[in-house]
Amino acid sequence: MTLDRRIWQGRTDPEDGELGQRFHQKVKSAEDAKTPGVMLMGFACDEGVACNKGRVGAYGAPVEIRKMLANLPWHHGSLALYDNGDIHCDDHDLARAQTLLANQIAEALKYKQFPLVLGGGHEVAWGSFQGLANYVAQKSPGITPKIGIINFDAHFDLRTPSGASRAGSSGTPFSQIAEHCQKRNWPFHYACLGVSRASNTEALFNKAESLGVLVVEDTDFSAANFTAIEDQISTFLAQMDAIYLTIDMDVFPATTAPGVSAPAAHGVDYSLIEQLIRTITDAKDSDGNRKLKLADIAELNPRYDIDNHTSRLAARLVWTITRSLSTPEEPQGVTQ
């Protein structure tokens, strides 16, 4: 796709040379992806939110995140940044859109691109996981993968798909992933951080317990408890071969992130999550390879945002993740 310069635009400071550049000056079209880097992918979809009886509007999130990201300063060294455009769910066929996303993610991973997906409702997670799972299965056939999911979210999103078609929604992706793993005799490793007891039924807490989910509630997510939480996450990371990071914008307080489908009355402070993102991106395997293979941002709803507060926060998350990825890894062989 051709890069949309109507979105990717911002201030220029030519007098500062390379050190004065911003994201809009660094991003390239996916067609020009000749070296490993970060591949942005948009998932313009709120079909799952509608099915989950939520406030629709997340469809417009990928464009708004790019707009807020475009003018942020570049502190990312030689990291390559590409934009693969958006997958649009315009025909109510959520499963098809998720499959398209999964295929794009698997393809990006094959060519050593880091997929960073801009949602979209949290139904994006089912597409994201399928992409990573397909890639891992093709790369190492016959080996049981240890894929860890870290979800910053006020909700478990472990609802059971209903109806004859068992079509999913924004509330079902991790239940779908658990079922996918069970069918393949894969372990299900899921950490849900910032979950609100006031936003999830007792049945969902019981289901999380039965599935062995690592849970940190929003009321326990504080600076005083940060070291203990970081230790839990570090232990979780150490047990995994690959990590999928997903961030639902409703994990933040409504005062910080008003533009979401389901605003959080309590929420988690951004600075704590930012520190944990660095912990997650720093995790390496014995060969020095970064364990984090995929990330996405979900549930930004520009329709309910106030002065772009939530869009700017989502862009800052992308900035933080890509900044962390700009730190060079140890030398490694390239395997497809």
**Out of 2-6, 192-196, 229-233, 247-251, which region has the weakest mean confidence (pLDDT)?**
2-6
User: Quick one: which of 327, 313, 223, 217 has its CA closest to 275?
Assistant: 223
For the chain, give the percent of residues with pLDDT over 90.
92
Q: Is the pLDDT of residue 166 over 80?
A: no
The pLDDT score that the predictor gives to residue 206 is 98
pLDDT computed for residue 327 by the predictor: 73
Mean pLDDT (the chain, rounded) = 94
Q: Round the CA-based radius of gyration of the chain to a whole number and report it.
A: 19
pLDDT at position 34 is 87
* 239 close to 289: Cβ distance less than 8 angstroms: no
* Helix, strand, coil content of the chain in percent (nearest 5): 40, 20, 40
What does the pLDDT look like over 230-269, one tens digit per residue? 999 999 999 999 999 999 999 999 999 999 999 999 999 9
Is the pLDDT score of 328 beyond 90?
Answer: no
Q: Could you say which DSSP state residue 160 is in?
A: P
Amino acid identity, position 318: V
pLDDT score recorded for residue 336: 40
Helices (H), 223-308: 226-238, 270-282
pLDDT of residue 2: 73
What's the whole-number mean pLDDT along residues 110-135? 97
pLDDT at site 331: 42
Give the tens place of pLDDT for each residue, 295-314.
999 999 999 999 999 999 99
In this structure, are residues 156 and 200 in contact, taking their beta carbons and an 8 Å threshold?
Answer: yes
User: What is the value of pTM for the model shown?
Assistant: 0.95
Residue 335 pLDDT greater than 60, yes or no: no
CB 190 within 8 Å of CB 174:
yes
Tens digits of residue pLDDT in 47-76 = 999 999 999 999 999 999 999 999 999 999
- What are the residue ranges of helices labelled H in 71-123? 94-110
Provide the pLDDT for residue 3: 86
User: Helix 270-282 vs helix 309-325: angle between axes, to the nearest 10 degrees?
Assistant: 20
Rounded mean pLDDT, 94-112: 97
Going by their DSSP bridges, the two strands 214-217 and 242-248 should be labelled as unpaired
